[in-house]
Each structure stands twice: as structure tokens, then as C-alpha cells.
Chain A
Amino acid sequence: MKDVEMKMLERAKQLLESGEVARVIGWKKGEFFYDPTPASFETVDELKDFVYDWFCGANLSKYLIQMSKKEGKTAVFLKPCDTYSFNQLVKEHRIKRENVYVIAVECLAKLNIEAIKEKTDGIVKSVDVEDKDVKVVTTNGEYTLYKPEVVLSKCAVCNKTHQAKDEEIILHERPERDVNRFEEVEKLEAMTEDERFAFWKGQLSKCIRCNACRNVCPACSCVKCVFDNPHSGIAAKANDSEFEEQLFHVIRAFHVAGRCTDCGECSRVCPQHIPLHLLNRKFIKDIDGLYGEFQAGETDEGKTPLTSYTEGDIEPKDVFNGEAK
């Protein structure tokens, strides 16, 4: 990983020094070794805090809505999953593509520090990755964890490849894996209605309505969200009832359906660890089944199943009759 970081740093320096770009968006080191923050770097000097490591899970594409409107070109490091969000935002005319220079960077999954802490005792001192082994040193001793169990939920089933790039920095290829991203959705589908309702009720009752899921979501790019708009009639800052808990999430899931790229940021940021990505993935699976396979963000142009009409489109009655499963 260090070699990739060095290479990125080198490129960032060149781009800034030559004046080709006015700023570079990447990650900068945090207080610990596991909490980098998205950041923009405008000078070579600022790059001293630049990092790219196992904990750079944050998706940088949404920051480009603002950054691409600034003076001068913005270079950005995008992981495979981030490029889907990027394309989707370009398609929706939220990012000015001509002002962005995309550097596709390799990703061999990102780690979830909370999962690591749960599986170890004591204060975490260091984390190293060797193939499938995650070696953790804490004040209590040493642990070897199985990597797939401590990656971010989005990474556990990721087979994504870069869909946008002006250049790439890939030093280690990631082998294609045999993963089924709908496995968890299928488990929910297999439940009875009552079980499923109980599952979501339990999960959503934890929601503190902090809006982190919405604010981080690249598909949630409305200038004024309906839940913040006092004229919408449903503006609210707290969930006062079960109904409100569900309303917020169901409306959000519907609104991003067909545009959600499955970047997994909603589940990464939720302070209550609500598996929000499952709601969106259910929609993705349904769209695949009803309209043919579709992956949002694969391109930055073209029609999408829910915003275009073809004669072959499924009739609502067939959906409601339960023909489409």
C-alpha cells in the first residue's frame, strides 16, 4: 500500500507544481492511523499530510459538486466504487466534468476500524494487512483477523472496476472474486412479511435522524431536500413516531432508486450501524429483474430504466400482482 501512496503523492506534486491543476482532492491523515479525512491540497507543502491507506473508505466524488465549480482544474483520486458515483453525478449535471482530472487508484478493499475493535481487546496500536490476514496489535496483545470479516460492508461484495479515468495508478491487480452482492437481500426476501417488518422496525428505530446517510450520499444532491423544506409539509428534524422513522428512509430509498450506485457510504457513516445499503440494494435487484440488468454510474450518459419509457417496460399491475419477484 505504501508504494501506491508514494506514487499518488508523486503525481499530486507534479500536477500542482506544473500548474496543470489548481488542487488535488485526496485524504489526509487524522489523529490516529485509522481516521483519515477527505481534503483538498492546493500546495506541495500541504501534501505532507497526504495519505492513502487501508482506511480511506470515504467516497470523494460528492465533494466535486463544489470543487468542480471553483477556479482551475481539480484532480481527484477515485477508487473503483467512487467512479460510479462520479459518473452518475456527471450524468445529472452536478459535476463539471471538464474541470476535473480523474486519477483512478487501486483498491484492495478498505478496513472497518469498528469491526476490528469489536474483534479485539485493548487499545488498537497498529493494523497491517498481509493478503487475507489483518494483523492487529493492541495494548492487550496481537491478533490475526480474517480480512473479509473486517472490511467495510461495501467492500465485502465489491467487484467494481474503474468506470472513469484520465489516468490510473494501479500497482497491484485485484483478482475478480466470486461474490453475490444480493445475498443479504435474498435473506430478507426469504423472510415472511412480519419478520421483515420486524427486522426493519428494529433497525430503523435506532435512527437518530442525524442525516449523515443523506448528506454523504452522492445520489442525494438536491439543493434543498424535501425533509428540510418548510413548505414541503414533511420537513422534520426528529423521528417522533415509528411512521416518521420509516417515512424518511423509504422516501430516500425511492428517490435514489435507479441512481444509487451501491457505493455503500450510507452504511459506512451511520452512527447506529443501520444496514441502509440493503434497502437500496433491494431496489437495484428489483430494477435488474424488472427492466434488465442495470448498473447506475457505469457511464456518464445515456438513459436509465426509471427515467425512460420503452414498450417492453413492465406494467405496474404485473409488479403488484407479484408476478415480478
Chain B
Amino acid sequence: MFKIAKERLNELYSKIAENMPLFMPIKKAGQVNYGAYEAGVETSVETLKTVKSPKDLFFPQSENMMKFKTEGKNIEVIDIRSEKDAFVLFGVRACDYKAIDVLDKVFLADPVDTYYQSRREASVIVTLACSKVEESCFCKVFGIDATAPQGDVTTWMDEGYMYWQANTEKGENLTAIVKELLDNGGETEVKAQQEATKAVIDELPFSNLDLSKFKPENLNELFNAQEWEEMSEACLGCGTCTFVCPTCQCFDVRDFKTNEGIIRYRCWDSCMYSDFTLMAHGNSRTTQMQRFRQRFMHKLVYYPSQNGGLYSCVGCGRCVNKCPQHLNIVKVIKTLGGKDND
């Protein structure tokens, strides 16, 4: 294990950025989101929860896919994807890192989404263990250890230092690049911090949610539960919960006409939107209750039933913090979940 004094972190970032593009939590106009590290930016790696998760780096909110040009009866299809060269994603928390697993199962399953795949392969991920958690965090419920995230490199941070440990070959290569800035040491400090943080996490209000009810065999019972009506009553049908969620993965594909042909692009979509299920024959979900139910059934029942029991919520708590009317997955778990939630 290595360490570097916190005052020298900018040197570390610059060193990495000299070698490949670096994306990390950056404060802009008062809010922290993942952005490119460049001269003059205000980094904020200590921010526990960026507003948007780092999923944009693999699955951007909007991206151009291809272009069509027509000439007489011929259509020319031009691949206009923007390839990413190797890049470093720095400061990813344990929940957001686990969320990449959830996305991989969707985008890298057959047929592989090559847009997503190329970015995944180009990424070197440096995770950061949590030490100051929030009451909205419930990653523990999903078996995530916030104090020991994986990734190509894992880092920890305390008052004075950042500690660094490579886990993969990509991680070793990155370590070699910054080696001259690192000193040896940190094992004891990291261990102490992990224990202290775990004790806090154990006491968090949502750390012991009971998910036992959310199983494929209860699908019909959960789907038909009376409580959806009441739970969704205040829902605005906005996309906040889906857009801040690190595991939401739905997109819309559309074409638009430009002077130089037709561009096909895709962008994030939200099951909370009224036209999400609009098809030629009509719309299969006509009420907000149905849309609301879809979001949570997908995370807690449908997705796990297709992915060996893996839930597609990682307990990051962003929807808990950001829903304008304070609806969220925790309320759903408590209302419909196992009896141990009382």
C-alpha cells in the first residue's frame, strides 16, 4: 500500500492527466458532478454523492450513434460514434462501482452494446472508500462494503493522507505512472478507518432493510399490491430519480434531420415519463401509478429475476435525497418488503 499527503493531491491529478484524460468529481456552479480534470477546475473528491453518478462516462446522457445519407434509392449508413481513448475515472464510491456491474449485465450481454463496451474497456477505475457516510446511504443492504470498494485501484482518505492500493494490471500500470509521488505505508490507518466507518454504517437508519420479500415468486403479489396507489400519489412523473440513479439504464433512440443527413442518437429515458411506453398501438401504461410501480418492480423484482438475484439498486440514496416530493425506493421497500422492516 502507498500513501500521498492530501496537499499533494493536485500533483497526483496533474500527473495522471498528463498521461490520459482524467474524470473525477468537479465542482461547477455550486454542484459536484463528474467532469474532466483540467487546469483551473475545482476538484471535490471528498463529496460523498455527486448529483449525477459516474454512469455518464460509459452511458452518456445523449450520444450520436450513426448518420444516414440518402441518394436516390440508396441509403448510406455512417458510423459516427465517438470513441474514447483510455481514460481514468477517479473517486468512484463503492455503490457507484457496484452499479457498473449492474449496467454491465445489461449492456455487455448478448447482443453487446459496442458503444458502451468500448468505453468500459478504455476505463481505468480508481475507487475511493467512504469514511463520512450519510443517513440516506443503504449500500450495506445490498452486500456492498463501502470501506473496501474494488476497481483497478482502491484509495482511502483520512485527515492527512490518501492511501493507494492497485488491484489489477491496469491499476499497476497507473501506479507506475504516479509512483514517484507515492510513499509506502498506510495499512494500519486504513484498517482503523474501515472499522470506525463500519461501526457508523451499522447504525444507519436504513442499514437493516429487509429485502426478503422481493423475490421472483412474489412477483404477482407485489405487482398487485394495493399500496402502489398511495405510494405514488405525490409523484410528479419527473425524471429526477431515474437520472440521478447510477443503475437506471433506459434510453430512447431518435432520429433528427440535419443539413448533412439524418442523425440517429440515443438519450436517457425515464420510465416515469408518460410517453415511455408509447407505441404505435397506444400506451400500455396510462397512469403514473403504473409508471412508478415499474421503476421499483424493475429494480427489486424483474432485474434480479433475470440476473441471478442481483438487485438493480445499490443503495446510493440519491433518489432519497433528490426526489422533489420525497418518494423513494426505501419507502417502497418498507411498505412492501419483509416484515422485518417495521
CA distance A58 to B239 in the complex (A): 18
Binds B, one of A101-109, A150-158, A203-211: A203-211
Asked whether B28 lies within 8 Å of A202 as measured between CB atoms, the reply is yes
Cβ contact of B239, chosen from A38, A211, A240, cutoff 8 A: A211
Knowing A36-B326, A271-B51, the reply to whether A205 touches B28 (Cβ < 8 A) is yes
Query: CB-CB contacts of B255-266 with A at 8 A, as 1s and 0s?
Result: 000000000010
Closest CB-CB distance, A111 to chain B, in whole Å? 14
CA distance A214 to B239 in the complex (A): 11
Closest CB-CB distance, B40 to chain A, in whole Å? 13
> Please, which residues of chain A bring their CB within 8 A of the CB of B265?
240
Asked whether B31 lies within 8 Å of A269 as measured between CB atoms, the reply is no
Knowing A31-B205, A228-B274, the reply to whether A273 touches B326 (Cβ < 8 A) is no
Cβ contact of B62, chosen from A63, A124, A240, cutoff 8 A: A240
Report whether over half of chain B's contact residues are helix, strand or loop; otherwise say mixed: loop
> Please, which residues of chain B bring their CB within 8 A of the CB of A63?
234
Q: Which residue of B lies closest to A244 (CB)?
A: B62
Knowing A215-B238, A228-B274, the reply to whether A206 touches B330 (Cβ < 8 A) is no
Kindly state whether residue B172 has any CB partner on chain A within 8 Å: no
Asked whether A240 lies within 8 Å of B267 as measured between CB atoms, the reply is yes
Binds A, one of B160-168, B212-220, B317-325: B317-325
> Please, which residues of chain B bring their CB within 8 A of the CB of A58?
324-325
Kindly state whether residue A319 has any CB partner on chain B within 8 Å: no
Knowing A203-B29, A216-B236, A228-B275, the reply to whether A238 touches B61 (Cβ < 8 A) is yes
Closest CB-CB distance, B276 to chain A, in whole Å? 10
Asked whether B134 lies within 8 Å of A269 as measured between CB atoms, the reply is no
Residue from A203, A214, A238 with most neighbouring chain B CB atoms (10 Å):
A238
Kindly state whether residue A22 has any CB partner on chain B within 8 Å: no
Closest CB-CB distance, A134 to chain B, in whole Å? 18
Asked whether A271 lies within 8 Å of B331 as measured between CB atoms, the reply is no
Asked whether B134 lies within 8 Å of A237 as measured between CB atoms, the reply is no
Closest CB-CB distance, B30 to chain A, in whole Å? 6
Asked whether A268 lies within 8 Å of B243 as measured between CB atoms, the reply is no
Kindly state whether residue B76 has any CB partner on chain A within 8 Å: no
Cβ contact of A271, chosen from B30, B61, B200, B244, cutoff 8 A: B244
CA distance A212 to B321 in the complex (A): 14
CA distance A306 to B267 in the complex (A): 36
Cβ contact of B233, chosen from A40, A210, A216, cutoff 8 A: A40
Asked whether B135 lies within 8 Å of A32 as measured between CB atoms, the reply is yes
Kindly state whether residue A184 has any CB partner on chain B within 8 Å: no
Cβ contact of A273, chosen from B30, B133, B233, cutoff 8 A: B30
> Please, which residues of chain B bring their CB within 8 A of the CB of A206?
28-29, 31, 33, 51
Kindly state whether residue A39 has any CB partner on chain B within 8 Å: yes
> Please, which residues of chain B bring their CB within 8 A of the CB of A208?
51-52, 61, 239, 243-244
Closest CB-CB distance, A219 to chain B, in whole Å? 14
Asked whether A37 lies within 8 Å of B327 as measured between CB atoms, the reply is yes
Closest CB-CB distance, A57 to chain B, in whole Å? 10
Asked whether A210 lies within 8 Å of B240 as measured between CB atoms, the reply is yes
Asked whether B238 lies within 8 Å of A268 as measured between CB atoms, the reply is no
CA distance A210 to B273 in the complex (A): 10
Q: Which residue of A lies closest to B241 (CB)?
A: A210
Closest CB-CB distance, B272 to chain A, in whole Å? 9
Kindly state whether residue B252 has any CB partner on chain A within 8 Å: yes
Cβ contact of B234, chosen from A39, A211, A271, A273, cutoff 8 A: A39
Closest CB-CB distance, A140 to chain B, in whole Å? 10
CA distance A269 to B239 in the complex (A): 12
Kindly state whether residue B171 has any CB partner on chain A within 8 Å: no
Q: Which residue of B lies closest to A36 (CB)?
A: B326
Kindly state whether residue B237 has any CB partner on chain A within 8 Å: yes
Q: Which residue of A lies closest to B231 (CB)?
A: A37
Asked whether B274 lies within 8 Å of A238 as measured between CB atoms, the reply is no
Kindly state whether residue B269 has any CB partner on chain A within 8 Å: yes
Residue from B29, B30, B62, B270 with most neighbouring chain A CB atoms (10 Å):
B29
Knowing A32-B135, A212-B236, A238-B62, the reply to whether A37 touches B275 (Cβ < 8 A) is no
> Please, which residues of chain B bring their CB within 8 A of the CB of A214?
238
Kindly state whether residue B296 has any CB partner on chain A within 8 Å: no
Kindly state whether residue A272 has any CB partner on chain B within 8 Å: yes
CA distance A123 to B51 in the complex (A): 19
CA distance A58 to B323 in the complex (A): 12
Given contacts A31-B206, A210-B238, A212-B324, 12 further A-B contacts (CB under 8 A): A31-B331, A37-B234, A205-B29, A206-B51, A211-B239, A215-B238, A216-B324, A228-B275, A230-B275, A236-B267, A240-B267, A271-B244
Closest 10 CB pairs of A and B: A269-B324, A238-B267, A35-B326, A238-B62, A212-B238, A215-B236, A210-B239, A210-B240, A202-B29, A215-B238
Could you tell me which A residues sit within 8 Å of B by CB distance? 30-32, 35-40, 58, 63, 123-124, 139, 202-203, 205-206, 208-212, 214-216, 228, 230, 236-240, 268-269, 271-274
Could you tell me which B residues sit within 8 Å of A by CB distance? 28-31, 33, 51-52, 61-62, 133-135, 200, 205-206, 230, 233-234, 236-240, 242-244, 252, 265, 267-270, 273-275, 320, 322, 324-328, 330-331, 334
A-B contact pairs, 27 of them (CB 8 A): A31-B206, A31-B330, A31-B334, A32-B205, A37-B326, A37-B327, A38-B325, A39-B230, A39-B234, A40-B233, A58-B324, A123-B134, A124-B135, A205-B28, A206-B33, A208-B61, A209-B61, A212-B239, A214-B238, A216-B238, A237-B269, A238-B61, A238-B62, A238-B267, A269-B324, A271-B243, A271-B322
